[in-house]
A = this chain, B = another copy of it.
């Protein structure tokens, strides 16, 4: 493990632990754990200028800030995804971070990579995860070449493309009749019974450590300027919490001089974090609400967000927002993102843009502000939703004379 790690702190009860004392959650209260680093030592040994000479354009450029002992061998090209400045009608400085360009097509690869490398350093040979689809296809993809066996639990409604990825990479897939939450509980039971190392998002504190690299990249790609807003979809809360951790790391180390406001976007049909943020605003403690999730955006369809406490804290601490949008607006956003900027995102991936529109309409965003939207997954992972969003534009031509007819009408 990285020598700059000082320990882990429970997000719920604040108790501090040595790394050797913990595996997944707080031994006292079963809260999620946050890995703590010695920011001062990192600042002294890795000045910001050291990145100017760094020619490694992947998540591994941030190795000193990650919970690993050494540089992984033969990894797939991971992270350093494009951050595009894109035109918009709002007068803001809008950037789109395209996470669909990762190896398995989603931001999840950042988390998976760290968990897998840590597992390999520890000599673990079997991993498991619960997944709405992307975490599982990511685990299957990145483990394929490492001699590590994997078992994935998914809800039976996971899209076919994600299942196909898991199958082709050779993972063992269990399709659970029920929700993501059912798959999650079964996965924990299986890993406890069989001793498999559990990657499940939020539950395993290393997932947040992987996802924080996305925040590092955003700041470095903006030449260490901090955006005013970061907008991203929220399911179990772990991407939002990972991003927030990343920004707080950079602030702690002294690379940046302020923090962005975090905006989480949920579907009305899966809005547990939204309810939790609202109830937390009137109370001292954070309670995570449960819902019956049914959104078309399968990657954020979650009844009980497993990294919810950290996500709610991120929104409150950053003086950000939680935004709810309809599934209809999410489908429209697929089209918007594709036709304006040439990026094809899955429903959960583009929900941030539906959120952006709402933030603009309600006057929250100010002209001139720097805003980053994160497209969390590739649209090829859910072709059915894209076809729904685009309506049927395909015209059939049966013959040469058909063509003449058609061309005459153009």
On whether the beta carbons of B144 and A341 are closer than 8 Å, the reply is: yes
On whether the beta carbons of B76 and A387 are closer than 8 Å, the reply is: no
Q: B170, B173, B386, B393: which contacts A172 (Cβ < 8 A)?
A: B393
Interface residues of A in 377-405 (CB under 8 A from B): 378-381, 383, 386-387, 389-400, 403
Q: Enumerate the 9 nearest inter-chain pairs by beta-carbon distance, A residue then B residue, closest first.
A: A380-B380, A167-B390, A77-B82, A144-B342, A164-B383, A145-B342, A170-B339, A164-B386, A168-B338
A140 to chain B, nearest CB (A): 9
- 27 residue pairs of the A-B complex, CB under 8 angstroms, read A57-B57, A76-B82, A76-B342, A76-B343, A104-B344, A141-B338, A144-B340, A145-B340, A153-B397, A156-B396, A163-B387, A164-B387, A165-B344, A165-B380, A165-B386, A167-B386, A167-B392, A167-B394, A168-B379, A168-B389, A169-B338, A173-B394, A174-B394, A176-B396, A177-B396, A186-B397, A189-B403
Known A161-B380, A167-B387, A380-B165: A175·B397 in contact at CB below 8 Å? yes
Interface residues of A in 11-70 (CB under 8 A from B): 57
Known A338-B144, A390-B168: A403·B190 in contact at CB below 8 Å? yes
| Closest partner residue, chain B, to A141 (CB atom) | B342
Task: List residues of chain B with CB within 8 A of the CB of A284.
Answer: none
Task: List residues of chain B with CB within 8 A of the CB of A153.
Answer: 397
Q: B170, B177, B190: which contacts A398 (Cβ < 8 A)?
A: B177
Task: List residues of chain B with CB within 8 A of the CB of A403.
Answer: 186, 189-190
Whether A74 sits at the interface, judged by CB under 8 Å, is: yes
Known A141-B342, A165-B344, A338-B144: A383·B105 in contact at CB below 8 Å? no
On whether the beta carbons of A190 and B390 are closer than 8 Å, the reply is: no
State the CA gap A258–B21 with chains docked (Å): 59
| Closest partner residue, chain B, to A83 (CB atom) | B77
State the CA gap A349–B184 with chains docked (Å): 35
Whether A85 sits at the interface, judged by CB under 8 Å, is: yes
Mark contacts of A340-358 with chain B using CB atoms, 8 A cut-off: 1 yes-contact digit, 0 otherwise.
1111100000000000000
Whether A406 sits at the interface, judged by CB under 8 Å, is: yes
Task: List residues of chain B with CB within 8 A of the CB of A175.
Answer: 394-397
Whether A193 sits at the interface, judged by CB under 8 Å, is: yes
Q: What 15 new A-B contacts, CB under 8 Å, besides A101-B101, A168-B334, A175-B396? A: A76-B82, A77-B98, A103-B342, A105-B380, A142-B342, A145-B342, A160-B383, A164-B379, A164-B390, A165-B344, A167-B387, A167-B394, A169-B338, A172-B395, A174-B406
Task: List residues of chain B with CB within 8 A of the CB of A360.
Answer: none
Task: List residues of chain B with CB within 8 A of the CB of A338.
Answer: 141, 144, 168-170
Whether A122 sits at the interface, judged by CB under 8 Å, is: no
Task: List residues of chain B with CB within 8 A of the CB of A161.
Answer: 161, 380, 383
State the CA gap A168–B384 with chains docked (Å): 11
A181 to chain B, nearest CB (A): 13
Task: List residues of chain B with CB within 8 A of the CB of A142.
Answer: 342
Whether A84 sits at the interface, judged by CB under 8 Å, is: yes
Whether A211 sits at the interface, judged by CB under 8 Å, is: no
A56 to chain B, nearest CB (A): 12
Interface residues of A in 193-224 (CB under 8 A from B): 193-194
